[in-house]
Amino acid sequence: MLFIPLNEPKIEKGTLFLGLYDEIFINTKEPYFDRNRLYGALGYQVNKSTSIQVGMMHQQLTNYGKWYLQFALIFNPDLRNKNN
């Protein structure tokens, strides 16, 4: 996933950002193309370990595609032992 900060030089507390990704699923047998997920979101970094995102994802299957509105709360704590 690519994160692009909008109001700060890097993503830190208080930063608005764009989040983008493209995920392609391929099979080893026909049909080789399984699906593609294209996602774009506007996010806000609440603090060092928490962010929120609102975005749109388009999921394309072999012959069918659908749009999804997504709301996400991402919690990513640093669990490393800081005493070492």
Domains contained in the chain, number: 1
Average pLDDT of the segment spanning 26-42: 90
Q: What are the angstrom distances between the C-alpha of 31 and each of 7, 8, 39, 61, 65?
A: 43, 44, 23, 11, 16
Amino acid at the residue 10: K
Range of the domain at 15: 2-75
Q: Is residue 84 part of a domain?
A: no
CB 39 within 8 A of CB 46: no
Domain membership of residue 82 (yes or no) is no
In a domain, 80, yes or no: no
Q: What is the pLDDT of residue 3?
A: 96
Domain for residue 61, yes or no? Answer: yes
Of 72, 65, 69, whose CA–CA distance to 57 is shortest?
69
User: Does residue 81 carry a pLDDT above 80?
Assistant: no
Residue of 47, 11, 65 lying closest to 2 (CA atoms): 11
Residue 48 has pLDDT above 80, yes or no: yes
50 lies in a domain?
A: yes
pTM: 0.81
Is residue 68 situated within a structural domain? yes
